[in-house]
Structure 1
Amino acid sequence: MFVDSFSRWMKLYGMRRKSDTLAFVQKFLADMSGTGVPRSFWMDNGGEFVSRDFIAFCDNAGIRRTYTAPGTPQQNGPAESAIWRVNKAGHAARLEAPRLFPKIDFTRVPGFGRDGERLWRESCHWAAGGFNRSPTKANVGRGTCV
C-alpha cells in the first residue's frame, strides 16, 4: 500500500510475495506518471526495501529512502493507520455482505468462502476507494478520484 503523507490518499496493490515489491513500486510509479515522481519513500527495514535492486532503482529514479527504526511501526503512522483502517473496513464489508444480500448464496460465489474470507483483496480495494473519495482536511470540499 502506498499512502501520500499529506492527503492520506492511498493506492493499494494485492501482492502475493514480498519479493514482488520492486515490480509493484515500478507499477505504482507508472500508474502515477501523470502526477510526477515521489520525492521520498518512508518505509520499514523489511528485506524487500533494503535489497540492492530496490536501492539502485530508487537512486536512479531520484527517490530518497527513509527507514523507520526496527520495531517502531508508529514512526510510519500514516501507512500503518491506513493499513489498519482498510483491513477493518474490508473485513466489515465481507462480514456484512450476506446480511445485506440475503437472497444470494455466497457459498456458491467462487472465491468468497463461507464468510467471505477469500475476497480480502477486493474488499480492501473497495475500502481504499471509499476512503480516497471521502473529503479530508487535506482536500476540503472535494473527494479525490481513485
Structure 2
Amino acid sequence: MQRKSETFEKFKEFRAEVENQLGKTIKSLRSDRGGEYLDQEFEDFMVEYGIVSQLTAPSTPQQNGVAERRNRTIMEMVRSMISFSSLPNSFWRYALQTAAYI
C-alpha cells in the first residue's frame, strides 16, 4: 500500500482471499484506533459481514503483542543484515523486504 486511504480496498481483497482459499470467515478485526479503520464505510462493511471491531486502548502497543514482537524481530534482522554486509543505509528497504520474506 502506498497510502492509508487504500486500507479499506485492501481489507476487502484480503477478506475475499481468506474466504476463497481457506473457507473461513473473519470474525473480528483488532486495530489500534488508526483512522483508516474507523471511517463509516469501513464500519458499515464490517457490520454487513458480521465482523466485530475490537479497538485497543489508546497508546498501548503492548496490547498488540504479536505484531509488535514481529516488527521488532524484523527490524533486528534488517539491522543485522546491514551491519554484517557493510552496505550503505540506502539498501535498508531491500534488507527490510528480504527480512519480511524470510
TM-score tier (shorter): 0.7 to 0.9
TM-score by length of 2: 0.77
Question: For 1:38 and 1:57, how far apart are their aligned partners in 2?
Answer: 12
Structure 1 residue ranges without an equivalent (≥5): 1-14, 100-105, 107-113, 128-146
1:70 aligned to 2:58?
yes
Structure 2 residue ranges without an equivalent (≥5): none
Secondary structure of the residue aligned to 1:32 is helix
* Cα deviation digits, residues 26-84 of structure 1 (max 9, x gap): 22223322221221111111100111121112111211110011111111112222222
Instruction: Show the 5 A alignment for 1:114-129.
Output: 114-115=88-89, 116-119=91-94, 122-127=97-102
Question: For 1:117 and 1:16, how far apart are their aligned partners in 2?
Answer: 18
Question: For 1:120 and 1:58, how far apart are their aligned partners in 2?
Answer: 35
Change (3 A) 1:90 1:23: farther
How many positions carry a matched residue from both structures? 99
Q: Percent identical across equivalent pairs?
A: 28
1:16 aligned to 2:29?
no
Amino acid at match of 1:18: K
1:58 aligned to 2:46?
yes
Partner of 1:37: 25
Question: For 2:101 and 2:14, how far apart are their aligned partners in 1?
Answer: 18
1:26 aligned to 2:1?
no
Structure holding more helix per residue: 2
Partner of 2:72: 84
Secondary structure of the residue aligned to 1:48 is helix
